[in-house]
Amino acid sequence: MEASSNPQFSKLPPISAKLFEAKKAKKLSFEQIGKHIGRSEVWVAALFYGQAKPTETDIHKLSVVLDCPESYLNHDVGSDYFPDRGGLMSVPPTDPTLYRFYEILQVYGYPLKAIIHEKFGDGIMSAIDFTMDVAKIENPAGDRVKITMDGKFLPFKKW
């Protein structure tokens, strides 16, 4: 199935289907693309899903690794492009992988919030000044998924 006819892409910007098609044609993973352009695989995936804004340098490097004309990418994700973050899925999500994250927050959300408050005070973890890594941990009992989120603590302001 071509990316442009896949319902998964219905809420994404037009460039997303083009990026996915180029990724498939080049047989590259998000990790490989990230290494070529100097970004993390999570950021690259976010860009493909319309959730990140590339710099001019990112666009240049993407055009090289994906074998796409730079002008073509600049047209869709250039200086006038701003991501429309969020809103890609229904809540709760229906995809089983995405639903697990929702379920984790349903079960562990308040415990995580309480621990953050105990350790840092009244505030939140930034999703803007933020990085995330996904690792595969091989285990004879079944491989494990390790997700590391690293966000700046932002205290709530009192006025």
> How far is it, in rounded angstroms, from Cα 36 to Cα 44?
11
Burial 114-141 (b: 16+ CB within 10 A, else e): eebeeeeeeeebeeeeeebeeeeeeeee
Render pLDDT for 92-117 as a digit per residue (tens, 0 to 9).
988 999 999 999 999 999 999 999 99
- Has residue 84 been placed in a domain? no
Q: Is 144 a catalytic residue?
A: no
The domain of 143 spans 122-159
**pLDDT at residue number 89:** 80
Residues of the chain with pLDDT under 50: 1
Radius of gyration over every alpha carbon of the chain, rounded to an integer in angstroms: 18
Residue 117 lies in a domain: yes
Catalytic residue selected from 2, 29, 79, 100: 100
Choosing from 2, 4, 71, 103, the catalytic residue is: 103
- CATH number, domain of 64, equals 1.10.260.40
pTM beyond 0.85, yes or no: no
Whether residue 39 lies in the annotated active site = no
pLDDT for res 3 = 52
Specify whether 5 is catalytic: no
Structural domain count of the chain? 3
pLDDT of residue 13: 82
pLDDT of residue 46: 93
Rounded CA-CA distance 144/132 in Å is 16
> Active site residue: 71, 79, 126, 144, which one?
126
- What pLDDT sits at residue 1? 42
Q: What is the pLDDT of residue 8?
A: 63
CB neighbour list of residue 22: distance below 8 Å, 6 or more residues apart: 66, 67, 68
41/93 same-domain check: no
145 and 159 both lie in a single domain = yes
